[in-house]
Amino acid sequence: KNVPIYRKFGMKVLDVATYIAGGLHVTDSQSGFRAYGKKAIENINLNGTDMSAGSEILIQARDHKLKFTEVEIHCRYDLEDCSSEHPFIHGPRVLFQLLKDMEYRRPLYYFAVPGLIMTSTGVLMGLKFLQDYILGDYLRFGPTLLMVMLTIIGAFMIFTGIILHAISRMIFINEQIRR
């Protein structure tokens, strides 16, 4: 209750990013109010040293098939100087860490989806330019160069995502075999 709009927006962005990075749907990924069982303490190893630990813990809990339950907490936002970090610094830092995690955990989302968007945009621009050319217009250098770059870079991103996805699956399978 009484959560400032900018915090609600930031929390929703980080919740969606946590879902995309780790496949885990939660209503407040950044809540610092947590309790852990023995199995969680034994299995969760934090790599981050900052406020991104909240999402990292949730993603590792999912990786280790640990049970978790969300409970409602009450938080006051009407007090001054209670946060350990400013939300406009905390939010982007956590989002950047989630993007780094997503690069490893979900390369298809991280590389292939943006690559597909870029390639599709380039191809659609090319079709439009071709139509204009056939109708007697001339090709402009800047937009044509942009179309070529979008198409090529997008295709490379798609292939990079596919290759990294295959590598990450091999690493995951090897980790499962070792256990």
Q: How many domains in the chain?
A: 2
Of 20, 44, 79, which residue constitutes the final position of a domain? Answer: 79
- Does residue 60 sit within a domain? yes
Domain hosting 66: range is 5-79
* Cβ atoms within 10 Å of 136's Cβ, excluding its own: 6
Instruction: Give the pLDDT score at 52.
Output: 67
- Does residue 35 sit within a domain? yes
- Does residue 143 sit within a domain? yes
Same domain assignment for residues 159 and 111: yes
- Does residue 88 sit within a domain? no
Grouped pLDDT means (10 residues each) for the chain, 179 residues: 80 86 82 83 76 78 84 75 68 80 82 95 95 90 95 96 90 76
Instruction: Give the pLDDT score at 97.
Output: 79
Same domain assignment for residues 69 and 110: no
Instruction: Give the pLDDT score at 50.
Output: 62
Q: Cβ distance 123 to 141 under 8 Å?
A: no
